[in-house]
Amino acid sequence: MASLNCALEISGLRKSYGGRSVISGIGFSVPAGACFGILGPNGAGKTTTLRCCLGLTPPDEGKILLGGHSIPDGACAARARVGVVPQFDNLDPDFTVNENLLVYSRYFGLKKAEMRQRIPGLLDFAGLTDKENARVEALSGGMKRRLTLARALVNDPDILFLDEPTTGLDPQARHLIWDRLKQLVAQGKTLILTTHFMEEAERLCERLIVLDHGQIVAEGNPHELIASQIEPNVIEIFGENAVAWAKARRALCQRLEIAGETAYFYCKDTAPVREALDKERALHSLHRAANLEDVFIKLTGRELRD
Ligand code: ADP
């Protein structure tokens, strides 16, 4: 039985490619009206999970309820109430901004007259009012992303899937997208997003999962995860012989991590490390609160994933 206050419910989801498991029996649920994050390193299974949810990739096993519809059988009905912002903009370069919205609305069987009424509002939301007759190729990267977001809203969806919505954008363009996504949540829409930007997840998501190797390695509210999974303070130390210096003072903190030439002291109390640092002139340090990126690195490691 579908829970009315759940936008998405997944249980026992499995998917293999060529005998290799890429989703290993995961389950989670997304409350309606929440912004929910799916985080994970490259290859963790984020896009495959999204594709299964949308009925684009058939799972090997598992149950998916999207907006109360069982996927993949009910994917068509579910997608009528869903918007998608794909990882790479796939706008039609031959059409203007306006035409891109019109053409896309036809997939939902929306009437041209109805769309003509709705388009000004969508363009205003996307900050593209003065670009309605511009060709897509004349738009900046940020404008294209905003147009893709506006396009995902043509059917006034209840649930929006966003696959890395701000990848490749500069900070100004990213902040503008964040602002718009917050507006959508304030309107009561459910957002399900994948991201590599921990700051993005920390700012936007009420709940998130961290996927690694097709498994959920953490789930919760970002601030609760920071409080429960990691020491509250970090002192980063770099400079001449910083790593050797840090290794010799391992006992001054709860946890020490080394990445390249930088040592990370994870501490409850920073005083012992700060006192030791006072005597050193050749070392540089940065004191900060632990953040979601620290949690992510602790859970998924520092090795590169390609
Ligand atoms: P993420 O989005 O977290 O980077 P993906 O879901 O795209 O991860 O991919 C998870 C794993 O599944 C990767 O190892 C990827 O190479 C593999 N994979 C994804 N799609 C296919 C496919 N169509 N055929 C074979 N392997 C795939």
pLDDT of residue 2: 45
**Ligand 1 atom 23 nearest Cα:** 17
Q: 304 lies in a domain?
A: no
On the question of pLDDT at 293 being above 90, the answer is: yes
Q: Are 85 and 216 members of one domain?
A: yes
Of 160, 189, 220, at which residue does a domain stop? 220
Q: Is the CB of 47 under 6 A from ligand 1?
A: yes
Comparing CA positions, the residue from 147, 137, 134, 131 lying closest to residue 93 is 137
Predicted confidence band at 22 (pLDDT cuts at 50, 70, 90)?
A: very high
Secondary structure of the chain as H, E, C letters: CCCCCEEEEEEEEEEEECCEEEEEEEEEEEECCCEEEEECCCCCCHHHHHHHHCCCCCCCEEEEEECCEEECCCHHHHHCCEEEECCCCCCCCCCEHHHHHHHHHHCCCCCHHHHHHHHHHHHHHCCCHHHCCCEHHHCCHHHHHHHHHHHHCCCCCCEEEEECCCCCCCHHHHHHHHHHHHHHHHCCCEEEEEECCHHHHHHHCCEEEEEECCEEEEEECHHHHHHHHCCCEEEEEEECCHHHHHHHCHHHCCEEEEECCEEEEEECCCHHHHHHHHCCCCEEEEEEECCHHHHHHHHHCCCCCC
The verdict on the CB of residue 43 being under 6 Å from ligand 1 is yes
Residue 296 lies in a domain: no
- Same structural domain, 113 and 31: yes
Give the position, in ligand 1's atom list, of the atom nearest the Cα of 50: 6
Q: Which of 14, 16, 22, 164 gets mutated to test ligand 1 (max ligand atoms within 8 A of its CB)?
A: 22
CATH, residue 83: 3.40.50.300
Q: How far is the CA of 76 from the centre of ligand 1 (A)?
A: 24
Q: Which residues pair with 160 in a beta bridge?
A: 83, 191
In this prediction, residue 168 carries a pLDDT of 87
* Domain containing residue 260: 231-289
Same domain, 245 and 186: no
Pick the atom of ligand 1 nearest to 214's CA: 10
The minimum-distance atom of ligand 1 relative to the CA of 18 is 25
The domain boundary residue, chosen from 220, 248, 269: 220
- Asked if 137 and 268 sit in the same domain, the reply is no
Same domain, yes or no: 213 and 235 = no
Q: Atom 5 in ligand 1: which residue has the minimum CA distance?
A: 45
Asked if the structure places residue 1 within a domain, the reply is no
pLDDT surpasses 80 at 3: no
Ranking 87-91, 160-164, 182-186 by mean pLDDT, the lowest is 87-91
Indicate the residue among 198, 220, 242 that finishes a domain: 220
CA distance 167 to 192: 16
Whether residue 36 is contained in a domain is answered as: yes
Q: Are 19 and 156 within one domain?
A: yes
* Ligand 1 near 214 CB (within 6 A): no
Asked if residue 40 has its Cβ within 6 Å of ligand 1, the reply is yes
Report CA(11)–ligand 1 centroid distance (Å). Answer: 20
Please determine, for residue 303, whether its predicted confidence score (pLDDT) is greater than 90.
Answer: no
C-beta 44 within 6 A of ligand 1:
yes
Q: What pLDDT sits at residue 88?
A: 87
For residue range 187-224, what is the model confidence (pLDDT) as tens digits?
999 999 999 899 999 999 999 999 999 999 999 999 99
**Does residue 303 fall inside a structural domain?**
no
Asked if residue 252 and residue 212 are part of one domain, the reply reads no
Residues 169 and 46 in one domain: yes
Q: Residue 294: inside a domain, yes or no?
A: no
Higher-confidence residue: 302 or 214?
214
Closest residue CA from atom 15 of ligand 1: 43
Same structural domain, 119 and 179? yes
Nearest CA to ligand 1 atom 24: 17
* pLDDT at site 51: 95
Q: Is residue 21 part of a domain?
A: yes
**Average confidence score pLDDT of the chain:** 94
Is 305 a member of any domain? no
Report residue 4's pLDDT band, with 50, 70 and 90 as the boundaries. Answer: low
Average pLDDT over residues 16-36: 97
d(CA 160, ligand 1 centre) in Å: 21
Cβ(3) – ligand 1 distance below 6 Å:
no
18 lies in the same domain as 52: yes
Answer whether 45 contacts ligand 1 (Cβ < 6 A). Answer: yes
Q: How many domains does the chain have?
A: 2
Span from the CA of 15 to the centroid of ligand 1 (angstroms): 10
Co-location of 138 and 17 in the same domain:
yes
What's the CATH number where 264 sits? 3.30.70
